[in-house]
A and B are shown apart, each in its own frame.
Chain A
């Protein structure tokens, strides 16, 4: 299209420039091309040169081209617009003389060197179209305007050009001045160039090679449209031609009639010359009057011949002409007789002859005949003239119709092409869109794509894969082979598989280890198909790549887990825990331990019909029911005890944990069994033992109760008689009073003392017993303040003594406050008691915390001490290391202390040496729980 524009514009420039050159050199052949035709005006030639140049640079796309076009258009308009104004207003600006002053000359009635009206119109149209094309953003209506203007000027050009071709006489339609042949030709080319430029701009995008069938149809219809248009032009032209021919013929007939009229008039005039010549001579006698007569005589023959020749084809007129001849002869004869009479008879004879009117009748007949001849001819002429008039208007109508038709056809064609182009553009856009989509899919799909040639070199690769590999496209395409991305192991695999791929045309899901640019690797799955040419030769591969690192890792993980589970099962087996797995009753897995427990080798276990066969007959039903409940998803104890029959027939007690595993197929039952036969035996023994123990406990409780009753009796019943002894001894003493002698008094005293001693004994025993039985309270007890409290309480016993108390910081312990008080009372009163022989007693109370958190409290005195050999006897009930005479006491105090300490989870011991004091230690265990 662009080439057509350039070609048209160059031809237009050439024609314009040639005409300009013609004007400058006054060469008519350059301005008119064909001699005899009207030449192109000088300003027309300049305008063509300018607009041709404008059209030529229009499609250049340079920034200046737009400015050049507009400049050319402006320049042209300065010549065209005034010319149009001249036509419209009738004023004369001498516009046509601005460039070159044309000579005063006419061709065919038209002045030379003046721009025709239609030429100006066409230039205006071209200027509009060109200017429109320089607009950057155009509406379609504006573009359509340019198209219509171009088509119009082309049509006008064609009309005039055809007019020339057909030699039509009316190419000067419009206000008198005709368009030159080369002008009309140039306008056709300018129109073609403009239209192709418009279409060209609509087709900026390159045409894809494979336009669809619709586009092909549009193209065909365009060709058909052009065909119809040209055919129509041809038909109209032929019709115009015929019309013109008839017009020319008619013109011939009219001129023939006019000649006929003038010739017949000439005959009359000649005859008058004869008559007047003869009469003049007769009247005057002067021979000079005979000259016209003579001349007429000579002329008439010629005239009659011409007349005859004119009416050769019209028999009626010819007959009239022939009938005229005798009258002309008679007139001659009468005129000659007159001259002869005059010559012979003189003027009187001649007058007599004239008066006879001999020659008059002939002349009248001639006149009448000619009149008839002329009347007929005039009638004919009138008809021809009328025909001429109608032919002229018909011609004008035809040309107008021709112009309109051509314009209309081209318009329709233009619209059609334009529509077609729009549709094409739309479909191209859709195609481009689709292409972009496909490209995007190729590049950004979540898998790698590449193509290899037969050598394995990468021909193309998508963005996804490039990103995976860490390369730029430039580094890869055509530069690297696919094997460059494989690890050594991968290369070996590639060497094996690539030839196979070339031969078979596909590979499926081959796993490769792929190396990235940075050296790291990933697992990829490659599949490819081969693209081949029509001969079946390999062209390139279509390869997909999937990163399966994650999947691979998952597989490895699975592998590890499997290993883990296998180890677990083995370890379990080593521990003696049997594992069995069944699927739909069939045993599919057992471990060694299970075989050991059941006594069956693995193969034999698996050969069993079901796991239930191992269960003793009577229990099978219940076992099946349990499994069914488990399968139904009902709650079942996860660990149960069961019995199975060992291969040897022996019954084995089992602990079994059952669960269901769903692995996609039928549910699998997993059982973990432990042989608890031994444990069962132990349990049975333990149960027996427990029963015995319980019995013993009950006995013990009974004994305790008895002891309690005993203590109760002791406290109540034993003391009552004692009290009575005391009471009545007192009453006795009062009663016997002074009458009793010293001996009797002593006896009474002994009895009283013994009774009192026994009371003390009973009281201490009761305390001891209560300490053993009473419920143990557990509260926090501050031993320091307890110690001080007890010391204070004991003060009445120590008032006469010198005792130095050394009380350190004692711990806080968890225990029964009243029992602990008893401990302190016992220990401190012991210390006070056994230091009695000392002038100055030193009693020390202190404590330390052992490494394990136990607290050890001690009471140290500087008393009489004891022999360590008897240390073990210190804490026995009623055990004493001193006589009651030496130191009073019941021998129960330390036993009570020991009992209390034992009940607190601690212990007590003593260290001492005779006469060097004793130390009693009490250990309080580290409280297990926080004392809070």
Chain B
């Protein structure tokens, strides 16, 4: 069986988290999903500080990052990640409702690995999320230092 890699979801909306997890669940990808509810928490996790200070080492195989979040928004998180040499190899996928061009441009400028707009239609949403999870957590070879867990 495939190695299942850890997916990190940064999403402030609980509904979206639920829907996303539901979508991942459909393909049995939900086991190793770390959910943080805003940018600050995400950074805490990645830097192993605050409430995550005690977690084990290792980076997620992919970060699914929402843009519009309280405290620290997605673009800011992205900027931090890509500016830090210890974290900038982690693939980051923007998973957002925004079709705004400026968000798209800014994200790519900061070095995002993919940009996905959450479809309104649930079927499509499930398909998109599961494909994302499949690709990044299963198919894609992760950079060194990622947490791996045998299924």
A716/B68 contact (C-beta < 8 A), A723-B120, A730-B122, A756-B120 known: yes
A720/B22 contact (C-beta < 8 A), A726-B121, A756-B121 known: no
Residues of A within 8 A of B123 (CB): 730
Please report which residues of chain B, range 1-42, place their CB below 8 angstroms from some CB of chain A when the two chains form the complex: 13, 15-16, 19, 22
* Cross-interface CB contact of A715 among B13, B15, B22, B98, cutoff 8 Å: B98
Cα distance A7–B121 in the bound complex, in angstroms: 158
Cα distance A730–B101 in the bound complex, in angstroms: 29
Q: Does A384 contact B (CB under 8 A)?
A: no
Residues of B within 8 A of A719 (CB): 97, 118, 120
Residues of B within 8 A of A729 (CB): 122
Q: Does B115 contact A (CB under 8 A)?
A: no
Residue of B nearest to A730 (CB): B122
Residue of B nearest to A762 (CB): B120
Residues of A within 8 A of B98 (CB): 712, 715-716
A724/B15 contact (C-beta < 8 A), A730-B123, A756-B121, A759-B120 known: yes
B39 → A minimal CB distance (Å): 15
A776 → B minimal CB distance (Å): 14
A726/B97 contact (C-beta < 8 A), A720-B16, A756-B120, A759-B120 known: no
A727/B99 contact (C-beta < 8 A), A716-B68, A719-B120, A759-B120 known: no
Residues of B within 8 A of A727 (CB): 15, 19, 22, 122, 125
Cα distance A829–B78 in the bound complex, in angstroms: 39
Query: Are A766 and B120 interface neighbours, CB within 8 A?
Result: no
Query: Are A770 and B101 interface neighbours, CB within 8 A?
Result: yes
Q: Does B84 contact A (CB under 8 A)?
A: no
Query: Are B99 and A723 interface neighbours, CB within 8 A?
Result: no
Interface 1/0 per residue, B81-111 and A, CB below 8 Å: 0000000000000001111110000000000
- Among A711, A724, A770, chain B packs the most CB atoms within 10 A around the CB of A724
Please report which residues of chain B, range 32-88, place their CB below 8 angstroms from some CB of chain A when the two chains form the complex: 67-68
B99 → A minimal CB distance (Å): 6
B122 → A minimal CB distance (Å): 4
Query: Are B97 and A724 interface neighbours, CB within 8 A?
Result: no
Cα distance A711–B15 in the bound complex, in angstroms: 22
A887 → B minimal CB distance (Å): 21
Q: Does A159 contact B (CB under 8 A)?
A: no
Residues of B within 8 A of A730 (CB): 122-123, 126
Cα distance A727–B98 in the bound complex, in angstroms: 17
Residues of B within 8 A of A728 (CB): 15, 19, 122
Interface 1/0 per residue, A759-798 and B, CB below 8 Å: 1000100100010001000000000000000000000000
Please report which residues of chain A, range 714-772, place their CB below 8 angstroms from some CB of chain B when the two chains form the complex: 715-717, 719-720, 722-724, 726-731, 755-756, 759, 763, 766, 770
Count B interface residues, CB 8 Å: 21
A769 → B minimal CB distance (Å): 10
Cα distance A722–B121 in the bound complex, in angstroms: 9
- Among A722, A726, A731, A759, chain B packs the most CB atoms within 10 A around the CB of A726
Residues of B within 8 A of A731 (CB): 19, 22, 122
Query: Are B19 and A724 interface neighbours, CB within 8 A?
Result: yes
Cα distance A308–B49 in the bound complex, in angstroms: 205
A511 → B minimal CB distance (Å): 88
Query: Are B120 and A755 interface neighbours, CB within 8 A?
Result: yes
A724/B100 contact (C-beta < 8 A), A730-B123, A759-B120 known: no
Query: Are B101 and A723 interface neighbours, CB within 8 A?
Result: no
Query: Are A715 and B97 interface neighbours, CB within 8 A?
Result: yes
Query: Are B97 and A720 interface neighbours, CB within 8 A?
Result: yes
Cα distance A537–B126 in the bound complex, in angstroms: 139
Query: Are A723 and B100 interface neighbours, CB within 8 A?
Result: no
Residues of A within 8 A of B121 (CB): 726, 756, 759
Residue of B nearest to A718 (CB): B97
Cα distance A689–B131 in the bound complex, in angstroms: 59
B55 → A minimal CB distance (Å): 29
B73 → A minimal CB distance (Å): 11
Interface 1/0 per residue, A782-817 and B, CB below 8 Å: 000000000000000000000000000000000000
* Cross-interface CB contact of A726 among B16, B22, B67, B122, cutoff 8 Å: B122
Cα distance A548–B125 in the bound complex, in angstroms: 104
Query: Are B68 and A723 interface neighbours, CB within 8 A?
Result: no
Interface 1/0 per residue, B116-146 and A, CB below 8 Å: 0011111101100000000000000000000
Cα distance A731–B96 in the bound complex, in angstroms: 21
Residue of B nearest to A726 (CB): B122
Residues of B within 8 A of A724 (CB): 13, 15-16, 19
Residue of B nearest to A722 (CB): B120
Cα distance A716–B69 in the bound complex, in angstroms: 11
Query: Are B100 and A712 interface neighbours, CB within 8 A?
Result: yes
A531 → B minimal CB distance (Å): 107
B137 → A minimal CB distance (Å): 21
Cα distance A328–B98 in the bound complex, in angstroms: 210
Cα distance A775–B119 in the bound complex, in angstroms: 26
Cα distance A727–B123 in the bound complex, in angstroms: 8
Residues of B within 8 A of A756 (CB): 120-121
Residue of B nearest to A766 (CB): B99
A822 → B minimal CB distance (Å): 14
Residue of A nearest to B124 (CB): A726
Residues of B within 8 A of A720 (CB): 13, 15-16, 97
Cα distance A723–B118 in the bound complex, in angstroms: 8
Residues of A within 8 A of B122 (CB): 723, 726-731
B151 → A minimal CB distance (Å): 25
Cα distance A731–B21 in the bound complex, in angstroms: 12
Cα distance A287–B96 in the bound complex, in angstroms: 225
Cα distance A731–B123 in the bound complex, in angstroms: 10
Residues of A within 8 A of B67 (CB): 716
Cα distance A731–B119 in the bound complex, in angstroms: 16
Residue of B nearest to A720 (CB): B97
Cα distance A913–B67 in the bound complex, in angstroms: 48
Residues of B within 8 A of A716 (CB): 67-68, 96-98, 100
Residue of B nearest to A733 (CB): B122
Residues of B within 8 A of A766 (CB): 99
B85 → A minimal CB distance (Å): 31
B23 → A minimal CB distance (Å): 9
Residues of A within 8 A of B99 (CB): 715, 763, 766
Query: Are A723 and B19 interface neighbours, CB within 8 A?
Result: yes
Please report which residues of chain A, range 484-521, place their CB below 8 angstroms from some CB of chain B when the two chains form the complex: none
Query: Are A726 and B15 interface neighbours, CB within 8 A?
Result: no
Cα distance A559–B22 in the bound complex, in angstroms: 103
B93 → A minimal CB distance (Å): 17
- Among A720, A728, A756, chain B packs the most CB atoms within 10 A around the CB of A720
B77 → A minimal CB distance (Å): 16
A871 → B minimal CB distance (Å): 32
Cα distance A729–B125 in the bound complex, in angstroms: 13
Residues of B within 8 A of A763 (CB): 99
B139 → A minimal CB distance (Å): 25
Residues of A within 8 A of B126 (CB): 730
B10 → A minimal CB distance (Å): 15
Please report which residues of chain A, range 199-247, place their CB below 8 angstroms from some CB of chain B when the two chains form the complex: none
Cα distance A717–B126 in the bound complex, in angstroms: 20
Query: Are A723 and B125 interface neighbours, CB within 8 A?
Result: yes
Residues of A within 8 A of B97 (CB): 715-717, 719-720, 723
Cα distance A715–B68 in the bound complex, in angstroms: 11
Residue of B nearest to A712 (CB): B100
Cα distance A309–B109 in the bound complex, in angstroms: 184
Residues of B within 8 A of A711 (CB): 100
Interface 1/0 per residue, A540-565 and B, CB below 8 Å: 00000000000000000000000000
Cα distance A763–B100 in the bound complex, in angstroms: 11
In the complex, 13 of the A-B residue pairs with CB atoms within 8 angstroms, ordered by the A residue number, are A712-B100, A716-B68, A720-B97, A723-B120, A724-B15, A724-B19, A726-B122, A727-B122, A727-B125, A731-B122, A759-B120, A763-B99, A766-B99
Additional A-B contacts beyond A719-B118, A723-B122 (12; CB < 8 A): A716-B100, A717-B97, A719-B120, A723-B16, A724-B15, A726-B122, A727-B22, A727-B125, A755-B120, A759-B120, A759-B121, A774-B101
A-B interface, 5 closest residue pairs, ranked by CB to CB distance from nearest: A730-B122, A759-B120, A727-B19, A727-B122, A724-B15
